[in-house]
Amino acid sequence: MAHGFFKQLVIQHCICHLLKREWKINFFRIGIADYQRQVGLYFIRKNIANFTFQPYLNILNVGSVRKSTSQLRLSSHRVCIETGRGNQPTSTLINKRKCMFCLYLDDEYHCIIECNPYIKLRKQLIPIYYWKYPNMLKCTELINCTNARILCNFGSYVNKALKSRKELLYR
């Protein structure tokens, strides 16, 4: 039993080490200036202060909630601002990546704070301060929150919103 756990831990460490190495290689390959201009990393650069271990990983205990929150924070989701980059043969222009429900620019901010299908869910799980008079500063504050109760509710909101989005768009 312990041997299997140790083996899994070693494999996870190796994968983490390889990903970090690959990231460093890519960072220097594309150059710092190009890295700053990449659209896919816009949300991360604007909302996450540093690339260190984030407190939400310790606070969120439910795996699916932690996964959904991580996907949102790292722009690894199905919001149009990200999916539009991969359209073939050319990517969709940023200003054309609209929400299917609201016809506003479909980015992470819109998904968390403004999108109409999630109004009821937002009112249940996110404190009124963050969505009553929304702005990017409040959204950033919510994403980087370290209050366990607010963070758990936010994680549940993100998890349910992303599942709902997937069901509505891909049924």
Residue 109 φ then ψ, to 5°:
-60, -50
* CA distance linking residue 150 with residue 22, whole number of Å: 34
Angle at 106 between CA 168 and CA 161, to 5 degrees: 40
Neighbours of 105 (CB within 10 A): 16
Q: Residue 60 is encoded by which pair of tokens?
A: 């969120």
Is the pTM for the entire model greater than 0.75? no
Per-residue pLDDT of the chain (171 residues; tens, 9 = 90+): 556 665 665 666 666 566 666 666 555 554 544 444 444 555 665 666 666 777 788 888 888 888 888 888 777 676 766 666 666 666 777 677 788 888 887 778 888 888 888 899 999 999 999 989 988 888 888 888 889 999 999 999 999 988 888 887 776
